[in-house]
Amino acid sequence: MQSKPPIVVDLDGTFLTRDIFLSEVLGLLTASPRDFIYVLKLLMFRKKALAKNFVAKLSRLDLDLFNKNEKLFRELELFHQSGHEIVLCSGASQVHVNQVVKKYPIFSQGFGTQGAINLAGEAKANFLVQKYGEKQFVYFGNSRADNKIYPHASSSSSVHAYWDNQPNDHRVLRKFITGLKGLRLKHWAKNLLVFSPLLMAHEFSQIDKLIPLVMYFLAFGLVASGSYLINDLIDVKNDSLHSSKKLRPIVTGAISIPQAIVAAIALIVLGLSITAILNWYLLLITGVYLLLTFSYMLVLKRIEIIDAVTLAGLYVQRIVAGFVSAQIAPTFWFLAFALFLFFALALLKRYTETSSTLKEGLVPGRGYFYKDAPILLQAGITSSFASIMILCLYLNSYEALELYTQPFILWLIVPVTLYWNVYLWLQATRGKINEDPIDWAVSNGNSVLCALLCVSLVVIAS
């Protein structure tokens, strides 16, 4: 009686939703930059097998942070019950393959990259033919490299570890929406700050200033989306541990790591190109934004207090860009108000991260201990009310009296902002803000109403 052919399964993107090697390499970027650079050198000289083995020796792989292909797993269980041998064969390091086999006993054995040969593509095809024979095995893969293997298998199937577990209806639309989710388009609301100088200067009706601002808004949005993708790539391990961030497309495998890298580079290059056409000074400001953003991603987000100051500075940078684009002189009052307000929101973000659990020790990927929450709460509230004090001083200043025809109406903004600040911190302490404060404010009805009231009062007072 002829024995049943073995079922050979690929690992990255087939059995697991995310690439182990690339995920671990991205982790080195912050954990050990020197090792990260060394891995890049190996990859540049096409020594991928050596790079994989080097990373495997350094990393402490936690497979609980990687989702498996549930649909494929159930299918493999049926094959196993019917007498087929289930084998894992991957281009991943043999060290990592062994860990997967140990975690999932359904695999009888596993073969991975060892020495200087990367077990992928043609090398994997030759290995499987030599071990099992031509057309003597069933193969499950997912990448272009697996096209070299399919012709040698008795039967084969190309799968996607994430999308195969999603509903089949409107698949193209779902992928499009997931791509937009990865770009974090809702965060573009933050970029509306570039229009604030034009509004405060009462020049919103001047088309010659409005059109360049709209163009810069779009260009800056592309740059910001590219930087968000890079941030998600760098933070993929920490995001895997977070209750809500673990659902981000890169973490789940809906967007592969190579796809995210290509998209990030394309978005940033396109955004900077449009900015260069608009204004060289804007290009300089946007370049500084990127430099500060990458510094924050790699280092500053792990330094307490400095991280919050940096976030506040990134928001103020948007306002400065608005002044430059509209060719309006920056005002001390507005920039001071914005700095204290956004510093408060940055502290609120850290407060929600440190107060959301009863754990001890450091918050993953941050410079705060969980017990720091009360201090962050006090500092954040103080900063938010300092911004209101600056607003009051401005309303009584010579500049406000000169700029507005009915400046007394602006004082109605004060009780609105007082209400909003207290409401904001009440929601935070009640655990109802579990995301970026700006995202929450944009989607919260009371916050939106307060913002509309303030804008309406500014327009009426003008």
What tens digit of pLDDT does each residue of 255-268 get? 889 999 999 999 99
* Same domain flag for 60 and 139: yes
Any domain includes 2: no
Instruction: Give the max Cα distance, the chain.
Output: 98
Phi, psi of 240 (to 5 degrees): -65, -25
Any domain includes 302: yes
Q: Judge whether residue 359 has pLDDT over 70.
A: no
The residue-averaged pLDDT of 73-96 equals 94
pLDDT at position 357 = 62
Any domain includes 372: yes
* Same domain flag for 267 and 121: no
Distance CA 203, CA 201 (A): 5
* Same domain flag for 274 and 242: yes
Tell me if 385 sits within 8 A of 421, measured CB to CB: yes
Q: Which amino acid appears at position 160 of this protein?
A: H
Tell me if 460 sits within 8 A of 409, measured CB to CB: yes
Give 209's pLDDT tier (boundaries 50, 70, 90): confident
Distance CA 5, CA 154 (A): 8
Phi, psi of 329 (to 5 degrees): -65, 130
3-state secondary structure of 400: helix
Tell me the CATH number at 310.
Answer: 1.10.357.140
* Same domain flag for 31 and 144: yes
Q: Judge whether residue 403 has pLDDT over 90.
A: no
pLDDT at position 169 = 65
* Same domain flag for 357 and 323: no
What is the helix (H) or strand (E) element at residue 62, kind and residue range?
none
The residue among 314, 330, 346 that closes a domain is 330
CA 412-413-417 angle, 5° bins: 130
In this prediction the pTM is: 0.85
pLDDT digits (tens, 9 = 90+) for 278-298: 989 999 999 999 999 999 988
pLDDT at position 356 = 67
Q: Judge whether residue 390 has pLDDT over 80.
A: yes
* Same domain flag for 347 and 223: no
The 8-class DSSP code of residue 109 comes to E
Q: Judge whether residue 28 has pLDDT over 60.
A: yes
pLDDT digits (tens, 9 = 90+) for 114-141: 988 899 999 999 999 999 999 999 999 9
Q: Judge whether residue 181 has pLDDT over 90.
A: no
| Structure-block tokens of residue 56 | 């495997």
pLDDT digits (tens, 9 = 90+) for 410-447: 999 999 999 999 999 999 999 888 778 888 888 889 99
pLDDT at position 1 = 38
Distance CA 56, CA 356 (A): 33
* Same domain flag for 13 and 77: yes
* Same domain flag for 75 and 158: yes
Any domain includes 138: yes
Mean pLDDT of the chain: 89
Any domain includes 224: yes
- Owning domain of residue 281: 172-330
Distance CA 193, CA 210 (A): 13
Any domain includes 1: no
| Structure-block tokens of residue 303 | 């330094």
Distance CA 459, CA 462 (A): 5
Give me the number of domains the chain comprises.
3
* Same domain flag for 79 and 179: no
The residue among 149, 165, 181 that closes a domain is 165
Of all residues in the chain, the percent with pLDDT exceeding 90 is 60
Any domain includes 408: yes
Any domain includes 127: yes
* Closest alpha carbon to 35 in 18, 17, 15, 50: 50
The residue among 330, 353, 386 that closes a domain is 330
pLDDT digits (tens, 9 = 90+) for 224-247: 999 999 999 988 887 787 777 788
Q: Judge whether residue 354 has pLDDT over 90.
A: no
* Same domain flag for 265 and 255: yes
Of all residues in the chain, the percent with pLDDT exceeding 70 is 97
* Same domain flag for 146 and 129: yes
pLDDT at position 389 = 96
Spatial neighbors of 282 by CB under 8 A, at least 6 apart, are 216, 275, 321, 324, 325
Q: Judge whether residue 164 has pLDDT over 80.
A: no
* Same domain flag for 338 and 290: no
Q: Judge whether residue 113 has pLDDT over 80.
A: yes
Tell me if 221 sits within 8 A of 191, measured CB to CB: yes
